[in-house]
Structure 1
Amino acid sequence: MNAKKLFWILLLLNLLNYIDRQVLYSVFPLLQQDLKLTDLQLGSLASAFMLVYMCCAPLIGFWADRAPRQKLVSASAFVWSAATLLCAAAGNYAGLLAARSFIGVGEAGFTTIAQPFLAEQYPAQKRATVLALFGLALPLGSALGYLLGGMAGQRWGWQAAFLLAGAPGFVLAFLAWTQLQDSAHRHIPAANRPAWRDYRTLLTDKPFLWICLAHAMITFVQGGFSAWMPTYFHRYFDFTVAQAGTVFGAIVVICGAAGTFLGGKLADRLLAKTPKAYFITIFAGILLMLPCAGAALYAPNGTLGVLFISLAVLCIFLPMGPVAAALVALSKPSVRSMAFAFNIFIIHALGDALSPVLIGRASDAWGLKTALLLGCATLLPGLLFTALAARKAAPSN
């Protein structure tokens, strides 16, 4: 099928994917006031989503390596959109927890399939840039989620934020069903389907495992900041709920998008000079983020806090395109959906399935500033894992 059509449909779906995922965080203060929730309960709403998301990913990845992927993309979008609408209907903590969990089912299906589906349409020398452009949906969608949640929640209540986020997904699910084609997976002979030994080979590949672990450390910090930074602005800088969502949303959309795009372009340019290009870019992003985050959390006022958080967000998004391109390079086409599924499981099991609830628990005990500082410390092993992946990766990768 036409690569541009595939790109735009998947990009729009990915954008909505992150809007629906992140809209929750801007309405944390409203949920806390209305439903009388603790910080631990708020954090568990994010963690429950991630637990379901990461557990469903390998099951869907196994299926996606054997079936036409366009139908799975469409069904996934329908499920997560319906579950987002159910969040608006929830009247208590248990109802919200259940609805958030079902969002995880739908989004696991989409994320497992979309990146390998897209990567197969482009040559290696363009992949980091294309996957970085696709990855722009993370900062853009997250920002729109914060903006939508903060503004709609402040004006009409938190239920309206979920309704506005969930409704467009049904239109995109229909477009995916009718417009996408997957000729590569239409009829796969049994002899060409991946065997269990192929998956064992993937899981014992050290560079693949190291880069997944490095990605997990990045995801831990991204998840913690996504969940708690609007609340940090609200508590420490006296921003209103709408202001906190708007400011952090603007930071993520501008700096996150810039970091994602720059990381992809830099990696593709470096690839002409060294096969370690993806790993170098990932390492640089992690290393630069640490001092910026520390300066932001110790900032004496909101102006400096916003400035340094902006720099931290730009740096932590630099690895996004290179990580995806590295996963493609380190996996065979026959197991690529499962490779991304394994990565999803690892990064969320050790990353943002844990960080919102752990930071929430630490915040209840020691305050949110200390909790976020402790969260940033997980980037230190991320540097080590990236270096190990670069050292072990074969030159051809």
Structure 2
Amino acid sequence: MVNTTHSPSPKEERIFLLTLAGIQFTHILDFMIMMPLGPQLIRVLHIDTHQFGLLLSSYTFTAAASGLLAATYVDRFDRRKLILTLYVLFIVATLCCGLAPDFVFLLIARALAGAFGGILGAMVQTVVADVVPFERRGQAMGTIMSAFALSTVAGVPLGLFLASHIETLGWRAPFFFIVLLSCGFLAVGYRYLPSLTGHLRRSDAGNVFRQIYAVVREPNHMNAYFFMSLLMLGGFTVIPYVALYYTANVGMTESFITVIYLCGGAATFFTSRLIGRMADRYGKLRTYRVVALASLLPLLVTTHLVPVPWWAVLINSTIFFILVPGRMVPGMAMITAAAAPQVRGTFMSIASSVQMMASGLASLGAGLIITRNAAGQIEHYNLVGYLAFGCTLAGIWVAQHLKVAPSATPVTRPA
């Protein structure tokens, strides 16, 4: 294999982004698909709600821990080899989920899937930043972020459909489906992902932990981590409890929640790329500021909603899903540009851990604020809305202090 400097053509870049979006889609779907399987898992594995919560949280916690661990090695390997190796390990862990005979085995398998999936998320964003110039990175991140929207659309209904219609497999069916889908994307990735080794040209002198410390303590990187935390706190304080609030306080049925996620996810699938194009045309910071300010209204409406007609709920929830996750498109484009290519893998691995920990703390913090009254309704959700409102405003202020690091890691391909 001979490496030569190569600027990808528009067609190559499009295939490259779609391949990464596919990888992103499968590992996010692997997380999303657990949520609708709760009733089956509780019944079949004879577990309680607390144990099911452990199955969900194990993915997030190990993803955060693996991101910190990955910071010790991600910038020491060819990006292509590393992302394909991690993807293989993720596929094996997901296969183990489908083969799990009991709760303990499934818990370990879910933790491993989270460990490899968490690093994959960081690596996908790192590779995009390495290949796509900053002036086009908003649209590229929009393409990658559309995988989150597609996971939202497909995760809940697909998990229920497969688990209920393939009786011989039951709750295992979704995991086997993800494995088959992932194998397809693995083959495409092996064929089309370029070798990326430009970041290896830096000097590796010194202790690896001192190098990580140097990456963390750099002021612009710290601003980026703070910005990432505020992004998560501004959304994940509210998002995990939307369905519960809609059913308990607004009077929506559980079946209508599926419609809400379908409409919101479908709309986001298209608007995330539109927001990305706007970020490239009008500037990442300017676009982020506009989308973030616009998201404040559906944030407050969602957390103060009273019983209203179903169509009013659907309009607000769709706007909510467009704007609140939509802030991530220009936001992530700015975050990926905060580090130089030589340390971007380390930087993004730590950023991934910060993202996972912040989202977990956001959900935990909101859970401590809200309560349920004797009638089963949610109380103090409005306070969660005010918290998200304040974090969003703070994020706009911090974003203005982010600086773009020197870019242009050469893309090399096999001759």
Pairwise TM-score range, normalised by the shorter structure: 0.7 to 0.9
User: Which residue in 1 is equivalent to 2:74?
Assistant: 64
User: Which residue in 2 is equivalent to 1:177?
Assistant: 190
Where does 1:81-120 land on structure 2 (aligned, <5 Å)?
A: 81-120=91-130
Instruction: Please state if 1:164 is matched with 2:168.
Output: no
Alignment partners' CA distance in 1, 2:131 and 2:190: 19
Alignment partners' CA distance in 1, 2:372 and 2:101: 28
Alignment partners' CA distance in 2, 1:357 and 1:37: 22
Distance 1:288 1:229, change over 3 A: closer
User: Which residue in 1 is equivalent to 2:412?
Assistant: none
Secondary structure of residue in 1 paired with 2:344: helix
Distance 1:394 1:118, change over 3 A: closer
| Displacement of 1:140 | 0.9
Where does 1:203-352 land on structure 2 (aligned, <5 Å)?
A: 203-206=216-219, 208-220=221-233, 229=242, 236-240=251-255, 244-245=257-258, 247-271=259-283, 276-277=285-286, 279-281=288-290, 283-284=292-293, 286-295=295-304, 297-351=305-359
Contact 2:298 2:317 in 1 (8 A): no
Alignment partners' CA distance in 2, 1:102 and 1:130: 29
Matching residue's letter, 1:237: M
| Displacement of 1:129 | 1.4
Contact 1:57 1:342 in 2 (8 A): yes
Q: What is the percent sequence identity of the aligned residues?
A: 16
Alignment partners' CA distance in 1, 2:189 and 2:135: 27
Contact 1:282 1:318 in 2 (8 A): yes
User: Which residue in 1 is equivalent to 2:409?
Assistant: none
Alignment partners' CA distance in 1, 2:346 and 2:81: 17
Q: Larger C-alpha radius of gyration, 1 or 2?
A: 2
Residues 299-319 of structure 1, C-alpha deviations (whole Å, 9 max, x = no match): 445443333221211111221
Write 1 or 2 for the structure with the bigger share of helix: 1
Contact 1:150 1:244 in 2 (8 A): no
Contact 2:24 2:147 in 1 (8 A): yes
Where does 1:361-380 land on structure 2 (aligned, <5 Å)?
A: 369-370=378-379, 375-380=384-389
Contact 2:98 2:176 in 1 (8 A): yes
Residues 213-240 of structure 1, C-alpha deviations (whole Å, 9 max, x = no match): 3433443565576655556667652334
Alignment partners' CA distance in 2, 1:390 and 1:375: 22
Instruction: Please state if 1:76 is matched with 2:64.
Output: no
Distance 1:385 1:361, change over 3 A: closer
Residues 280-335 of structure 1, C-alpha deviations (whole Å, 9 max, x = no match): 2463254244124225x534454433332212111112212211211122111111
Alignment partners' CA distance in 2, 1:216 and 1:82: 31
Question: Would you say how many aligned residue pairs link Structure 1 and Structure 2?
Answer: 388
Secondary structure of residue in 1 paired with 2:72: helix
